[in-house]
Amino acid sequence: MSAEPAAPPALIVRLAAPRGFCAGVDRAIQVVEATLERFGAPVFVRHEIVHNRHVVSRLRDLGAVFVETLEECPDDRPVVFSAHGSPRSVTEAAQARGMTYLDATCPLVSKVHVEATRHHAAGRQVLLIGHAGHPEVVGTMGQLPEGTVVLIETLEQARDFIPRAPDALAYVTQTTLSVDDTAEIVEMLRSRFPAIGTPHRDDICYATTNRQDAVKSLAGACDVLLVIGSANSSNSVRLVEVGLRAGAPKAFLIDDAGDLDLAWLEGAATVAVTAGASAPEDLVQGVISRISDAFAVTVEEVGAARETVSFKLPRALLA
């Protein structure tokens, strides 16, 4: 008589809440979809609309053409500017060419643009806390004349920075940074320059903060943390870093279920799962399904923060 197959090992999957799409990402995707519906394909999109390869692939299948420069776009087709924001020169070039353009910049990124412009107009030297080369940073620095904004990436740079005038300074930040890392940099700047101008409200967006808080609440009580998001997604990469710092023994960034190595979960009793702000929920469910192929899974949703923020589409798409 053959032996009964061994029962799969038990595994608790704790789902972070909130996770996945934020209001800015949701709006940006809707902008591309609505532009395609109104104008037909192709619609050109300057830079990836959001940093998730699955989202980009789906929109490409619908007729979106992703490019890196405005020069790659014809004059007679609409162009959408990504959620990360664009330098002022890009908008000016589109206007000069008479192009139809739709701006999908997240309103919370636009808020940072307004703050930087206001501080510059008041004669303050503007510091931007962020990561060099990230499109949001490029867009924010591009709101002001070249060489005007000083980028601060590290605590050491904040400590060593020599201002033009110590009493005429202000800072803004990228919206997708580590809350804790940024707080250290801000504390350094404020201790060195007590008169430094600050944002009216924190520039790190509510969604970034909420997702990092959710990971912190799970990290110390899990054996493995899985963060679903693309490698070029700043907020997703930060979730891995935050999880490790908060006590997760292991943390992995995966695009989807296909990236998951089940060997990572061997011997684990509890796995925490979250998703970056540009990762759709179907990817989360795909990962849970793959885990369920090898384990007897119990899913628990953990977290109390409810997000009710929504942003309107550009006026041109509402007419």
Q: Is 136 a catalytic residue?
A: yes
Give the model's confidence band at 2: pLDDT under 50 very low, under 70 low, under 90 confident, else very high.
Answer: low
- What pTM was estimated for this model as a whole? 0.94
How far does Cα 165 stand from its chain's mean position? 33
Give the model's confidence band at 202: pLDDT under 50 very low, under 70 low, under 90 confident, else very high.
Answer: confident
Find the catalytic residue in 115, 136, 146, 187: 136
Give the model's confidence band at 3: pLDDT under 50 very low, under 70 low, under 90 confident, else very high.
Answer: low
H or E segment at 65? Answer: strand 64-67
pLDDT at residue 265, rounded to an integer: 98
What confidence tens digit (pLDDT) does each residue in 94-139 have?
A: 999 999 999 999 999 999 999 999 999 999 999 999 999 999 999 9
Give the number of other CB atoms < 10 A from CB of residue 170: 22
In whole angstroms, what is the distance from residue 274 CA to residue 288 CA?
11
Q: Which of 193, 174, 184 is nearest to 130 (CA)?
A: 174
- In order of start, what are the domains of the chain with their CATH numbers? 10-21+206-302 (3.40.1010.20), 23-106+311-317 (3.40.50.11270), 108-192 (3.40.1010.20)
**Rounded mean pLDDT, 160-187:** 96
In whole angstroms, what is the distance from residue 15 CA to residue 17 CA?
6
